[in-house]
Amino acid sequence: MSDTWWRGAAIYQVYLRSFADGNGDGIGDLAGLRAKLPYLAELGVDAIWLNPWYPSPMADGGYDVADYRAIEPSFGTLTEAEDYISEAHALGIRTIIDIVPNHGSDQQEWFVAALAAGPGSLERERFIFRPGRDGGLPPNDWQSIFNGPAWTQVDDGEWYLHLFAPEQPDFNWRNPEVVEEFHSILRFWLDRGVDGIRIDSAAVLFKDLDSVEESYTDHDEVHDVYRGWRRITDSYEGRFLVGEMWMPDQERFALYLRPDEMQTAFNFDFLSRPWDADELRASIDLTLTTHVPIGAPPTWVLSNHDVTRPVTKYGRPDTSFSHQDRKHGMATDPVLGERRARAAALLAMALPGGLYVYQGEELGLPEVENLPDELLQDPLWVRSGGTDRGRDGCRVPIPWSGQEPPFGFGSGTPWLPQPADWKNLTVESQHDDQNSMLTLYRNGLRIRRTELGDGTLTWLDADPGVLLFARDSGLKCITNLSPAPVDLPPHTDLLLTSNPLENGKLPTDTTAWVR
Ligand code: NOJ
C-alpha cells in the first residue's frame, strides 16, 4: 500500500457510542465495531475515523478527554483497541483517531492537580487561569462557542477559560509542557499502529485575551504546533494529519496545508452550501483553487456528528438552509431530501481527493428531530436555554436489523431512542435492495476506488443548472440540479445513476456516471 494512501481514500466516520453495542449496555463499543468490520470492508472504505475513544465524563460526547492514553471503559480496553487496529488492518482498513488539543476534561489529572495547587502554581500554567475583574466579573466578556460565558470561577476566586463547556478547560499552548505532552500522546498512538490523526478544533489553540472580541481563531503561532506534529508523523510510515478548521478565509485555510504542516483538512465549505448548481460549482472551484497549487488533496464531506443529516438538510424547502438548523419544527420533505442526498453522494464521490462518509449516511438516515427534550445530551441544548436542540439528532444509534428498536444495535436500550419507522432503513432491509441508499454507496465506492479518488477534474460545457466534469480515468459525472430532464453526455457505458433515467434523460436532482 502506498505511503500517500490518504490522498484519495474513502474514510468512514464511526461515532463509537452509536455504532454497534457489543455488551448490551445501550452504548456502542469496540466489541460492536469489531463485529461490524466485515460490513465496512464490504462497503468498500479505506479507513475508519473514530471520534474520541478515551475515558470521558461525556460532557461533550467524549470531546472532554479525561485520559489521552486510555480507552473509555464503556467502549472497551486498550488491548481491545489494539486488537481492533490489527483486525481492521487485516481487512485493509486503516484507523484514524481523534486528538483534542484545545481542551481536556475537568476530570483530567492535570486539571485536578491545577485546582489543588492553587493560584500562581506551575500546574495552573498548563491552563488559562486569570484573576477576575473588579465587581466579580470574569477576566473578559468572551462567550463560549456553546453559549454562555467562556470563563468559570473556581473556589479560590480565579477563573479558567473554556471555549466550549465548563467541563472542557482550555490548555495553555504557550506552555512548552503542553506541547511536549501532546507530542508524547501522538507517539503513544502512532506506536500502536494508528494511521492518521484527526485534529479537533485545530485553529483555536492560541488566544489573545486582551482583545474585547473573542480572539482565538487562526493565530499565526498555531502553525508551529502542526509543524511539530508533522515531524512526528513523518517519522512513521504512511501516517497523516487531517485538521478540523471552520474558516471562511481559504487563503488562511491553505496555510495549514503547507508541505510541513497537515496533509489534509475537512472541507466544510462544500458541506455548508445549499443544493444549487452555481453554489456547488463555486465551492468545488474554490476548493480546487485552494488545494491544487499547493499539492494538497481536497476532501469532500457531506455530513458528520456535528451537522444536520443530508436527507433532512437537502429536504428543506428553503435552499438557503444552514447545515446547523436545529430549531423546532423546521419543515423538510424526506422524499426530495433523499433524492438530493443520493445525487449529492455520487457527486461528492466523483470529485478528486479524499471522501468522508459519516455512519448512517450510507443508510440515508434522517436527522431525528423529535427526540424527547429530557433525553437530549448535547451541552448545546441546555447552554442555549433550549433554543438550539443540539447535535443529538444525527447521533442516534444505527439500525442494523429487525422490525423494531433497538434494530440489532445491541441487546440493551440504546442511549438515544431510534424512530420506529427506521425498520425500512436497517442494513438488513437495504443490503440486497438494488435501489437502496446502501447499495448506491457500495456501488459508488467500488467504482470510485478504481476510477476516481486522487487526481484532477476537467469541467465540460453543460446547460444552466447542470454540473458536468470528466476525471482522468475518462469517467464523466453529471448532476442535474435544473428543473427539467437533460441529455446525458456522449458515452458508451452508463455506470451508475442515483435515480433511474426517464425516457433516456437524466431527471432533476439526479447524478449519473458515464464512460
Ligand atoms: C469539534 C467536534 O467535532 C465537536 O463535536 C466538539 O463539540 C468540538 N469540536 C469541541 O471539542
Which ranges of 71-193 does DSSP label H, i.e. alpha helix? Answer: 78-90, 109-117, 176-191
Question: How far is 139 from 154, CA to CA, in rounded Å?
Answer: 13
Which set of grid coordinates corresponds to residue 246? 471552520
CATH of the domain at 466: 2.60.40.1180
In a domain, 167, yes or no: no
With cell 511536549, the residue in question is 180
Choose the residue to mutate in 63, 168, 199 for probing ligand 1, maximizing ligand atoms within 8 Å of C-beta: 63
CATH of the domain at 322: 3.20.20.80
In a domain, 208, yes or no: yes
Residues 197, 330 share a domain: yes
Strands 476-480 and 10-14: unpaired
| 249 in active site | no
Atom in ligand 1 nearest the alpha carbon of residue 102: 11
Is 147 within 8 Å of 384 (Cβ atoms)? Answer: yes
Strands 129-130 and 151-153: unpaired
| 244 in active site | no
Residues 130, 186 share a domain: no
Residues 360, 240 share a domain: yes
State the sign of the Cα–Cα–Cα–Cα dihedral 1, 223, 271, 424: positive
For residue 425, what pLDDT is reported? Answer: 98
Q: Whose CA is nearest to atom 2 of ligand 1?
A: 200
Is 505 within 8 Å of 457 (Cβ atoms)? Answer: no
State the distance from the centre of ligand 1 to the C-alpha of 292, rounded, in angstroms.
28
Atom in ligand 1 nearest the alpha carbon of residue 100: 11
pTM score, whole prediction = 0.97
State the distance from the centre of ligand 1 to the C-alpha of 477, rounded, in angstroms.
33
State the distance from the centre of ligand 1 to the C-alpha of 71, rounded, in angstroms.
18
Number of domains the chain contains = 3
- CB-neighbour burial class of residue 484 (10 A; exposed 0-12, middle 13-18, buried 19+): exposed
Q: Look at residue 170 and give its three-state secondary structure.
A: strand
With cell 474520541, the residue in question is 52
The type of residue at 304 is N
State the distance from the centre of ligand 1 to the C-alpha of 450, rounded, in angstroms.
33
Residues 86, 208 share a domain: yes
Atom in ligand 1 nearest the alpha carbon of residue 103: 11
In a domain, 423, yes or no: yes
Residues 352, 486 share a domain: no
Which set of grid coordinates corresponds to residue 31? 466489541
In a domain, 179, yes or no: yes
For residue 322, what pLDDT is reported? Answer: 61
Residues 498, 437 share a domain: no
Question: How far is 175 from 426, CA to CA, in rounded Å?
Answer: 49
Q: Given 407, 441, 475, which residue is the final one in a domain?
A: 441
Residues 462, 328 share a domain: no
In a domain, 166, yes or no: no
Cα separation values, 142 from 207, 214, 216, 365, Å: 11, 5, 10, 37
CATH of the domain at 113: 3.90.400.10
In a domain, 169, yes or no: no
Is 245 within 8 Å of 256 (Cβ atoms)? Answer: yes
Residues 206, 97 share a domain: yes
Work out the number of other CB atoms within 10 angstroms of the CB of residue 404: 10
Q: Given 441, 470, 492, which residue is the final one in a domain?
A: 441
| DSSP-derived secondary structure letter, 296 | P
Q: Which of 46, 98, 200, 306 is catalytic?
A: 200
In a domain, 447, yes or no: no
Ligand 1, residues at Cβ distance < 6 Å = 60, 63, 100, 164, 200-201, 244, 305-306
Residues 364, 317 share a domain: yes
Range of the domain at 496: 454-514
Residues 311, 220 share a domain: yes
Residues 53, 9 share a domain: yes
State the distance from the centre of ligand 1 to the C-alpha of 6, rounded, in angstroms.
23
For residue 320, what pLDDT is reported? Answer: 58
Question: What is the per-residue pLDDT across 239-260, written as a single tens digit (0 to 9) for each?
Answer: 999 999 998 899 999 999 999 9
State the sign of the Cα–Cα–Cα–Cα dihedral 359, 39, 100, 234: negative
Atom in ligand 1 nearest the alpha carbon of residue 244: 1
Residues 478, 382 share a domain: no
Atom in ligand 1 nearest the alpha carbon of residue 63: 11
Tens digit of pLDDT at every position of the chain (515 positions): 579 999 999 999 999 999 999 999 999 999 999 999 999 999 999 999 999 999 999 999 999 999 999 999 999 999 999 999 999 999 999 999 999 999 999 999 999 999 999 999 999 999 999 999 999 999 999 999 999 999 999 999 999 999 999 999 999 999 999 999 999 999 999 999 999 999 999 999 999 998 888 889 999 999 999 999 999 999 999 999 999 999 889 999 999 999 999 999 999 999 999 999 999 999 999 999 999 999 999 999 999 999 999 999 999 876 655 666 665 567 889 999 999 999 999 999 999 999 999 999 999 999 999 999 999 999 999 999 998 899 999 999 999 999 999 999 999 999 999 999 999 999 999 999 999 999 999 999 999 999 998 899 999 999 999 999 999 999 999 999 999 999 999 999 999 999 999 999 999 999 999 99
Q: Whose CA is nearest to atom 4 of ligand 1?
A: 306
Q: Whose CA is nearest to atom 10 of ligand 1?
A: 63
State the distance from the centre of ligand 1 to the C-alpha of 408, rounded, in angstroms.
28
Helix axes 437-451, 334-350, angle to 10 degrees: 10
Q: Which of 251, 318, 374, 461 is catalytic?
A: 251
Which set of grid coordinates corresponds to residue 87? 483486525
The closest of 255, 226, 251 to 241, measured between CA atoms, is: 226
